[in-house]
Amino acid sequence: MKIEGGQSLRIVAMILAGGRVGELSVLTMQRPKAALPFAGYFRIIDFALSNLMRAGITRVGILSQYRPASLIEHVGTGESWDFVGLDRTAKILPPFWGGEAGDWYQGNADAVDQNWNFLADVEADLVLVISGDHIYRTDYRELIEAHLDSGADFTVAVKKMAYDPHYGYATLDSANRVVSYVEKPDAPRDDHASLTIYLANTKALREVFDSEPGRRGELLEFGKDVIPYMLERHHVHGWVYPDYWAYTRTIPMYYEAHQDLLRGRIDLDAWGVRTNLQDTLVASQPPARFGAQAEINGSLVSTGCEIEGTVIRSVLSPGVRIERGARVVDSILCHNTVVEEGATVCRTISDKHVVIGPGTRCGAEDAGAITLIGKHGRIGRDCTLEDGITVLPGGAVEDGRTMERPS
């Protein structure tokens, strides 16, 4: 790609998309977190792929090892993001066995190291490593220009935010050089949190992996291992990102990102986010249909939905059906969920192909905890699921049952 000034660089992107975290509970039992549905018919990895597309970075490796089938189906050939053609590719890179490297990925840096041939094949000058489970819009060309202008060997994108134990934190000097970095500290040293967006000179990163600690398997994670190691030997720069960014590592984070969508903080049209419409079956869905008694307020309703009841501050994926007298409030209902007549669903996340029986109540409008129903869950007639209840994928709740939270 060419950047400002006409300089031509060979840049390869690696998307970290392989993990499952327990905090996402039933939503990632059958898929990696990057493949989670978002905003109706998108998947979270769409944000990373769309950002790369806009920046003109056309060689993309997707590092995945946990149940990658849904991710493979969704990315396909990469055509939806213009990654098909000469010098264009979007390739899933699972763990492999054979040669000097080969094993399950032991960390995000190890995953890049094991797939170094993907960079070496095109003699990449820079490698951009990004997470596949973040919600944001950016132009990576700004990051690349800041990296080159600083003369750094490694640049980490950071954002000023309050302390959260899920993040690593960097301290920057007046020139935005990183002078210290701690991954997930007990208490923050600074308020610049890492966004898991890294840009490295391939020569410098290769030297790190080939170092004595690298050969001993001690440099497996970028945040915990590689950045502290490089701080002692290389120039590490901090690129401060000023705009909206959301992490979807936990159920509350995933839920809050959807609320930000409904509040207008996430503008999918303005951001130019693309998805694979064939994978999500959007292309074959009819327009949404609203019955005479339907009431919709502050919600996102996808194609193929049929609404006869009430939907308030909720996000509905394609094919969701809300029957007469049913009420859905502050909820996220994934593809082909059915809420039958007279049911009430509040602060609930349902995965795909869930049926909630007539007269049933899930969650409560003033509840602190979110109710979760796994894929293909079946909730019977006149049931009560208190706030915070989790139904496993394929689970069934018999008619009339009340499920209470453990005291």
Tokens coding 103: 């094993």
- From CA 46, how far away is CA 341, in angstroms rounded? 34
Task: Tell me the pLDDT band of 103, cut-offs 50, 70 and 90.
Answer: low
Distances (CA, A) of 359 to 37, 170, 362, 377: 27, 52, 10, 16
Q: Which residue has the tokens 């095109």?
A: 122
Contact 73, 47 (CB under 8 A): no
pLDDT digits (tens, 9 = 90+) for 336-385: 999 999 999 999 999 999 999 999 999 998 877 999 999 999 999 999 99
Confidence grade of residue 67 (pLDDT, cut at 50, 70, 90): confident
Q: What is the rounded (10 degree) CA torsion for 180, 185, 189, 192?
A: 80
37-55 per-position pLDDT tens digit:
999 999 999 999 999 999 9
pLDDT at site 104? 81
CB-based contact 330:362 (threshold 8 Å) = no
Place of tokens 């790609």: 1
Mean pLDDT of the chain: 94
What is the rounded average pLDDT of the residues 68-88?
94
Check pLDDT > 80 for residue 144. Answer: yes
Instruction: List, for residues 184-222, the tens digit of each pLDDT value.
Output: 998 877 789 999 999 999 999 999 999 999 999 999 999
Integer CA distances (angstroms), 23 to 248, 253, 350, 366, 404, in order: 10, 10, 16, 22, 20
Q: Which residues pair with 310 in a beta bridge?
A: 295, 327
Q: How far apart are CA 194 and CA 159, in angstroms?
A: 7
Neighbours of 176 (CB within 10 A): 17
Cα–Cα distance measured from residue 5 to residue 210, given in angstroms and rounded to the nearest whole number: 33
Distance CA 394, CA 407 (A): 25
Write the pLDDT tens digit of every residue in 278-327. 876 677 899 999 999 999 999 999 999 999 999 999 999 999 999 999 99
Mean pLDDT lowest for which of 16-25, 92-101, 122-131, 264-273?
Answer: 92-101
HEC string for the chain: CECCCCCECCEEEEEECCCCCHHHHHHHCCCCHHHCEECCCEECHHHHHHHHHHHCCCEEEEECCCCCHHHHHHHCCCHHHCCCECCEEEEEECCCCCCCCCCCCCCHHHHHHHCHHHHHCCCCCEEEEEECCEEECCCHHHHHHHHHHHCCCEEEEEEECCCCCCCEEEEECCCCEEEEEEECCCCCCCCEEEEEEEEEEHHHHHHHHCCHHHHCCCCCCHHHHHHHHHHCCCCEEEEECCCCEEECCCHHHHHHHHHHHHHCCCCHHHHCCCCCCCCCCCCCCCCCEECCCCEEECCEECCCCEECCEEECCEECCCCEECCCCEEECCEECCCCEECCCCEEECEEECCCCEECCCCEECCCCCCCCEEECCCCEECCCCEECCCCEECCCCEECCCCEECCCC
Separation CA 11–CA 372 (nearest Å): 41
Nearest to 276 by CA among 62, 82, 55, 1: 82
> Which residue bears the tokens 């990315």?
75
pTM of the predicted model, to two decimals? 0.94
Segment among 1-10, 39-48, 62-71, 269-278 with least mean pLDDT = 1-10
Strand 192-201 versus strand 154-160 pairing type: antiparallel
Q: Examine the pLDDT at 5 and tell me if it is beyond 80.
A: no
Tokens of 120: 């070496």
CA dihedral 223, 226, 227, 230 (to 10 degrees): 180
Question: Residue 1: which pLDDT band, with cuts at 50, 70 and 90?
Answer: low
**pLDDT, tens only, 243-278:** 999 999 999 999 999 999 999 999 999 999 999 998
Give per-residue pLDDT as tens, 347-358: 999 999 999 999
Residue 146 to residue 285: CA distance in whole angstroms: 44
Determine the pLDDT at residue 2: 59
Number of CB atoms found within 10 A of residue 151's CB:
9
Domains with residue ranges and CATH for the chain: 11-271 (3.90.550.10), 289-403 (2.160.10.10)
Specify which residues 2 forms β-bridges with.
8
Residue 97 pLDDT more than 70? Answer: no
pLDDT for 401 equals: 98
Question: What pLDDT does residue 98 have?
Answer: 59
* Res 284: pLDDT: 83
Say if CB 96 and CB 68 are below 8 A apart: no
In percent, the amount of the chain with pLDDT more than 70 equals 95
